[in-house]
Structure 1
Amino acid sequence: MTTEFSDQLAFDNDLDVRRAAKELHVSKSCSEHEKPASTPVTEDEGVFEIRDFSNVSDFERWSHQISLAAKRWGAALQAAESSDDVLQMRECFEQGNFQYELLFQLVPLAETKKEDRLGLHAFPTRAHRLQRWFGVRHFVIISINKHNIDVDSARTLLGAAAIAVSGAKLPLPLSCFVPVEGGRKRVLGEALQGNRTIYSTDLQNTVQPCLEHLAGLADFFQKKVQAGADKKHTMMVGARFTYSADHFELWQQRFREKFSVEAHEHMADPVESLKLHCLWPAFPFGAFVDDAHYSELDPRTAPYWKLRVLRRDSSAPLTQRLRALLSFRREACTIRSAEHSIQMHAPRTAMGSLTAAIQESLESILLPTDGEMQMMVEACMESSVVPTAESPPPALRGLKGGRCGGRLVRIAELSATMRCFKGSVMLWCNVLARMRTQWDALEAPGSVAPPTARISARGTRTEFFDASMCLAQQKMELLQCSVAACRTRADPDADAGADAEKTELETEGRGSMRPPSLAAPPLLTEDVLLQRDTAAASLTAAEVAELDGREMRSDMAAFRAANPGAALTDFLQWRQNVEGLSLKFPEDWLQSLWNEPPCWSKLFEPEREAEMALHYLESIEGTQLLLQLFRVLLRSTLEDLSAHIAATGGGPAYIRMLRDRVISAAVCAFSWRGNQKMASEEVDVEATLMGEVADFPEEEYLQGVLAALEVLESSMRLAASLRAKLGGQAEGLLEELLTEGEADVTADDQREVIEMLFDSSRHLARDEIHSSVPLAIFDTLPLAKEFVLQLQPAAGEQKCMRRLYAEVREDHTRLAVVRELAFW
């Protein structure tokens, strides 16, 4: 066959043989006769070492440097013999005005694959192009940084590399390659191991009809390696047809319904394209007919189908919201009080007035308009402080946040859309102004009461807010409880009428005791609790007990009023058995209280508590406000993603692993206790508060959390997109597609769905160019045809390095030939 390909490759091979022999002869003659006297020669080793470079050629310099690098690579191989991962090493050296780079690589061979047979490894998907073209696994690439190498220079450099590597005594045969003009079109390669193996490839921007099918390629290969009349070798063939789908508009609406994010309705599909590989591995030539007139290589009946997904580089909108909040950290440090920061301050000097005017003009560009701010405030007020009393998942209790779907979460979401932190502060203060108006008018609070719980080990009826909520959320819930208490307008003695329905207590020798009508218990947020516990650390036992003296006196008075003849032991027995409280107070102190005249007290003062809650919210510092908003939004995001995973039946194990990794990283970042779990209902509030950090964690931990969240979000979006495209058949493929980027299609149902998807994609593409003849995907030419032809060793031969790789596309053809020649 006399084609442009065959002429070019034949010329390259003959020139390689003559040049390599000449270079080898020159190098040996130089080493034996023309070496300087200072160069030692060791006959046992058979390798000379050049120490004086004053009279040596560039060829010998290259050979010396490459030989040293190859020896270091051999030592690295011996140290990592048992590794199953791809091993790489990069070396650089300078010669003249150029910097040379050597990239060594070894791809371990899986146990299920055989070197002497073509299998699925003949078409590795994400392997290096040299592995795909020539089937090599152990190779080194020699290149020049920021420079392209012409053909003549590449041949000289390749000869030096081949000789240097052959003398390095590596444990595995190493093939050398030099890219020509960047390496995308041509690559030259060589290996010297007993015989000489030549690697050559070329790219033609035209497609020759005689090389479009297997029969023509086989004819070219047999003539190229001179195996036409040789019947002792069997030619084994592997083939892969690749089809592409990149139009999915019909599935876009279904994708949004399955995975939607508010304010990001026009998200791009995370799937850029899908590739379908139809493979025929390891069949002898002649088993299938494939020529210019007829082909038995039907993609529908290919033994193997492999589906590959190519992702689009798109941002994760949920993660971007959190990154937007983090960008306000420097600005937040300048705000000492939320309310004070938005007040107008009259400048005292003319220069101050000019500066204030300029700053106000700049801020007006970044801040939302009055109408936009009003709409945001209304959106926040439409959300209840406590939309639901459900607790967050146990794994997320260590990450303090707000109520899912609540007002604080809404404020955090809108703050992430601001262009400066002052806009977030203005939104915060406007919402608080509306809440203060509701407090002054005693407007009805939300329909869901904030859940509170007592800690029995403390021995008091004091109620604490949910310890998994941040302090701002607790203050808002305290304000709602205060409004509800004021609306009842009840006496101090009748604040807790529900307690009258409690079970009577049977006492020894005294019969049954009537349950008392107790005053409403106090409600404490975590900051007040911390102040009390800090003060108690320096007090005596009696003084610590006196901190709860009002409650004990009020409860004793109520119990004695309901049971006039009761004794202290009856009161303590009722408190322990009915109320479930521990008896941690000193007995002498309790006896002294019992002997005092009855004294009723109002334990919860709503007016005082409401003003304290509003004062904290209005005077919060900028850093604390931003920190709590960030944690609220982070936990809300994780709750939403966890709910979506649960709604899909748990999803693939890979996504559940990513979710657990994000939660663990977030809890560790925001708590010095690390991966502390707060699954118990009766949580040690002091330990919880002390475990909460008062400032943002280090940048390394924050970026680690956001990086893990971005991976989780992108994987979930990809899974939702694949489910929308493949329907119920996606579940069997999701795990591999998410982890490996490709999956083996083994079921007939999966093949049918994939074929329909690719047909629809082709129809959509045809509609764009107004074609009136839409064909099915398998009735058209594939995106690429790939063939691997290899001669198998004959009887008595250990190996037979004769291989051809061919890639045929619509606009180009690539051929890569491997030939083994006698050394002399």
Structure 2
Amino acid sequence: DEAQMILSAIDIATVNSECTLPIFLQFGAPDRIFFIGSVQNGNIRTRFETVHTHHAFSKHKCLSGLADIFKERLNDSTIPALDITVAIELEYIIRNDFDYDNDLHIDEKYIKNLGACSLPFSTRRDVVKEFRLLTGWPALKQEAITDTINYSDLDPYAAPRWRASVTFHKGVQGLLHSGLSKAKEYLKSIDETTVTEKLGPKPSENRSAAEIFRPVVDSGGSGMNINIGGVQLPINEIRLKEIITTIFNVVNQSAPLKHHHSNELLNDIENTLKSAKAALPGSIVDNLTKSIILALVQPDSTKNRTLSVCQIWEAFTEEIRKYWETNKDIPGLENTTVPDLSKCLLHQKLQMIQCCIDSRRKRHELYDQTKNFSTHEDEFFDAPDEFDEETPLTATNTVNNEPEGRLQKSETLKLLNRPEQPLYIPITQDRSPMTEDMLEEHAEYLASMPGDDRVKAQLDTLLSDMQAFKAANPGCCIEDFVRWHSPRDYVEEEDGTGHLSERMDMEDNVWRTTWKEARPIAVAHQNRLFNESKEAEKILHSFMFFKISDIFKMLMPMSLICAIRRLIEEGL
């Protein structure tokens, strides 16, 4: 009754508005799909009703049978077939209504088929609850289509119109999302246990035979899984070696996103990703990040996933130490000069270790080439308390000293006090490379010092260069040094003479003060400004004693970039 009342209101509205569109009203249980409706076309009103039958006639399942019903309802069998226009829409439905456990483990074959440094995608279960495909043939003459019980032209592939819709299961979590979520949880972890403590001692490390086999004796030896290392680790040694080999297998780090067509949007995305504070794709940091994210989605317990991360990190640190101890270049970082502050901190620290490797290698080569090399690295000289007033302040009293630490001869410059002697460019110490956290610490250190001490601390490099210059050029003066080190501060006159700039010529100038303190000491005998052994060991030691949150603090920038790249790859 209510449906008929609403339908009557619809009829009145269509007459008043002169609407010629059919209007349908659904009623009853939704799954029964009952409709009534009407259409007002001038003085003719057509009613529509729905009838459900337990078993439909076979002829009513095809177009020819439905057309016959249409003619019967009109009670006019004289209507030619050509005057009947049909619109056909066939619906295909695939349902997946099974209820899955949200913690359903992923197919282990999928994980095994992934590379050691591949980010997972997809989900732990099928996310599609229902898929609907509507195929349509609009405005066709009945004679153009043959659709009978025995034969049909209605091939879905030949339909001029397709419309698809998908209904998804709610709450299904993708593997990539799951990995990033777990990484975020570890990042916020307050667990103070270090990687070394979680993994326990190495097999037979600081343990007697009695301690190793005590669990076996206490348990009677029945059904006991002997674990000499103390902790049952989820990744076996062979698999761990494969992972580390893959991590250090650096590929082309400038390769763009893989796509088969030129797209301005993709190029913009690529340029944006390159400017991100992370590391290049295919680098060690990129591979390490992917391998650890992959470990987070393994079908295993939370404890074992944590141990897997610790195993990979420890093995990664030990591999970096091998490169350091053997003076071998870290793959992909061979051309590093200083840490790139535009990259993530972990990448900077690896670059710093590469700088340490280069510095130690150069120092060893220098020691081998230096004449009369002394192994006493702590040798130093005190500046004299007084100067002879008759001796010019700009000259040194080392004319008779044997030159040492020369790199090459200057093609144009000669010593001012010894015009017959060419000026030699000295071998100097490399500037101390720093990562962004080291720069912050250094800035805080300088800010905490008194003014004079702060200035002196910033002149260590200048003092080293002056000492090396004096050792390479006996009898030189400060003007010689300035001409080489800071040519703009030496003014040459038209008559060929020259003098220091006004700021350099001031008596209290820090360059003059430092020159007076500098003694002729070649680089091979100087205290190192950059102690590569100390810096490398400091980084490696910190890696070994990272907490789980420290690992993901280092990896999170790269994790996000890797995830973005993975999404783009799936969308291409």
> What TM-score, normalized to structure 1?
0.43
Q: Taking structure 1 as reference, are residues 233 and 448 closer, same or farther at Cα in structure 2, changes over 3 Å only?
A: closer
Shift of 1:401: 5.0
* Offset from partner CA, 1:317-356 (integer Å, 9 cap, x none): 44433233334456x2122644455569xxxxxxxxxxxx
1:551 maps to 2:461: yes
1:378 maps to 2:241: yes
Q: Which has the higher contact order (CA 8 A, sep 6+)?
A: 1
Cα contact 1:158–1:190 (8 A) shared by 2: no
Indicate the SS of the match to 1:369. coil
Mapped partners of 2:317, 2:157: distance in 1: 71
- One-letter code of the match for 2:483? D
Counterpart for residue 156 of structure 1: 2
1:521 is aligned, of 431, 435, 454, to 431
* Offset from partner CA, 1:177-228 (integer Å, 9 cap, x none): 2332224442234679998664433444534233243333222113224454
Cα contact 2:82–2:142 (8 A) shared by 1: no
Indicate the SS of the match to 1:239. strand
Mapped partners of 2:56, 2:410: distance in 1: 93
* Offset from partner CA, 1:651-677 (integer Å, 9 cap, x none): xxxxxxxxxxxxxxxxxxxxxxxxxxx
Mapped partners of 2:94, 2:52: distance in 1: 25
Cα contact 2:82–2:141 (8 A) shared by 1: no
Cα contact 1:401–1:469 (8 A) shared by 2: yes
1:466 maps to 2:344: no
1:180 maps to 2:28: yes
Indicate the SS of the match to 2:426. coil
- One-letter code of the match for 1:378? K
Counterpart for residue 101 of structure 2: none
* Offset from partner CA, 1:106-148 (integer Å, 9 cap, x none): xxxxxxxxxxxxxxxxxxxxxxxxxxxxxxxxxxxxxxxxxxx
Counterpart for residue 288 of structure 2: 408
* Offset from partner CA, 1:564-615 (integer Å, 9 cap, x none): 4653441344699xxxxxxxxx863334333432454423212211221123
Mapped partners of 2:126, 2:422: distance in 1: 71
Mapped partners of 2:320, 2:144: distance in 1: 85
Cα contact 2:37–2:49 (8 A) shared by 1: yes
Structure with larger Rg: 2
Cα contact 2:235–2:308 (8 A) shared by 1: no
Indicate the SS of the match to 1:238. strand
Mapped partners of 1:436, 1:221: distance in 2: 81
Shift of 1:243: 8.0
Structure 1 gaps, min length 5: 1-154, 247-255, 345-360, 454-462, 577-585, 642-708, 720-824
Point out the more displaced range, 611-620 or 425-434: 425-434
Q: Taking structure 1 as reference, are residues 559 and 443 closer, same or farther at Cα in structure 2, changes over 3 Å only?
A: closer
Q: Taking structure 1 as reference, are residues 495 and 322 closer, same or farther at Cα in structure 2, changes over 3 Å only?
A: farther
1:571 is aligned, of 473, 481, 484, to 484
Cα contact 1:485–1:606 (8 A) shared by 2: yes
1:616 maps to 2:549: no
Indicate the SS of the match to 1:521. coil
Q: Taking structure 1 as reference, are residues 401 and 559 closer, same or farther at Cα in structure 2, changes over 3 Å only?
A: same
Q: Aligned runs of 1:246-645 on 2, under 5 Å?
A: 279-288=136-145, 290-291=147-148, 297=153, 299=155, 304=160, 306=162, 316-329=174-187, 332-335=189-192, 337-339=194-196, 369-370=232-233, 372-375=235-238, 377-383=240-246, 387=250, 390=253, 394-396=271-273, 397-401=275-279, 404-406=282-284, 408-409=288-289, 412-413=292-293, 415-416=295-296, 417=298, 419-420=302-303, 422-424=306-308, 426-427=310-311, 430-431=314-315, 434-435=318-319, 438=322, 442=326, 444-446=328-330, 448-453=332-337, 463=338, 465-483=339-357, 485-486=359-360, 490=364, 500=407, 514-536=424-446, 546-562=456-472, 564=476, 567-573=480-486, 588-598=509-519, 600-639=526-565, 641=566
Cα contact 2:408–2:424 (8 A) shared by 1: no
Mapped partners of 1:327, 1:185: distance in 2: 47
Mapped partners of 2:136, 2:422: distance in 1: 85
Shift of 1:527: 0.8
Mapped partners of 1:402, 1:373: distance in 2: 29
Counterpart for residue 62 of structure 2: 213
Indicate the SS of the match to 1:210. helix
Shift of 1:447: 5.1
Cα contact 2:64–2:147 (8 A) shared by 1: yes
Point out the more displaced range, 198-207 or 430-439: 430-439
Q: Taking structure 1 as reference, are residues 505 and 554 closer, same or farther at Cα in structure 2, changes over 3 Å only?
A: farther
Counterpart for residue 398 of structure 2: none
Cα contact 2:132–2:164 (8 A) shared by 1: yes
Mapped partners of 2:78, 2:244: distance in 1: 88
Q: Taking structure 1 as reference, are residues 235 and 520 closer, same or farther at Cα in structure 2, changes over 3 Å only?
A: same
Q: Taking structure 1 as reference, are residues 400 and 450 closer, same or farther at Cα in structure 2, changes over 3 Å only?
A: same
**What is the percentage of aligned positions where both structures have the same residue?**
17
Mapped partners of 1:638, 1:513: distance in 2: 56
Mapped partners of 2:447, 2:17: distance in 1: 71
* Offset from partner CA, 1:685-726 (integer Å, 9 cap, x none): xxxxxxxxxxxxxxxxxxxxxxxx5xx56x53xx6xxxxxxx
Indicate the SS of the match to 1:524. coil
Shift of 1:449: 3.7
- One-letter code of the match for 2:480? A
Counterpart for residue 383 of structure 2: none
Q: Aligned runs of 1:46-125 on 2, under 5 Å?
A: none
Cα contact 1:403–1:409 (8 A) shared by 2: no
Shift of 1:553: 1.8
Cα contact 1:444–1:483 (8 A) shared by 2: yes
Cα contact 1:377–1:430 (8 A) shared by 2: no
* Offset from partner CA, 1:215-251 (integer Å, 9 cap, x none): 33222113224454578994322235678999xxxxx
- One-letter code of the match for 1:156? E
Shift of 1:368: 8.1
Cα contact 1:550–1:601 (8 A) shared by 2: no
Q: Taking structure 1 as reference, are residues 209 and 452 closer, same or farther at Cα in structure 2, changes over 3 Å only?
A: same
- One-letter code of the match for 1:218? A
Mapped partners of 1:495, 1:230: distance in 2: 110
- One-letter code of the match for 1:404? G
Mapped partners of 2:313, 2:250: distance in 1: 21
Q: Taking structure 1 as reference, are residues 342 and 291 closer, same or farther at Cα in structure 2, changes over 3 Å only?
A: closer
Shift of 1:369: 3.1
Q: Aligned runs of 1:651-730 on 2, under 5 Å?
A: 709=567, 712=568, 715-716=570-571
Cα contact 2:276–2:343 (8 A) shared by 1: no
Cα contact 2:356–2:533 (8 A) shared by 1: yes
Cα contact 1:559–1:571 (8 A) shared by 2: no
Shift of 1:530: 1.2
Structure 2 gaps, min length 5: 96-109, 202-223, 256-269, 371-404, 490-502
Q: Taking structure 1 as reference, are residues 232 and 273 closer, same or farther at Cα in structure 2, changes over 3 Å only?
A: closer
Cα contact 1:402–1:408 (8 A) shared by 2: no
- One-letter code of the match for 1:326? K
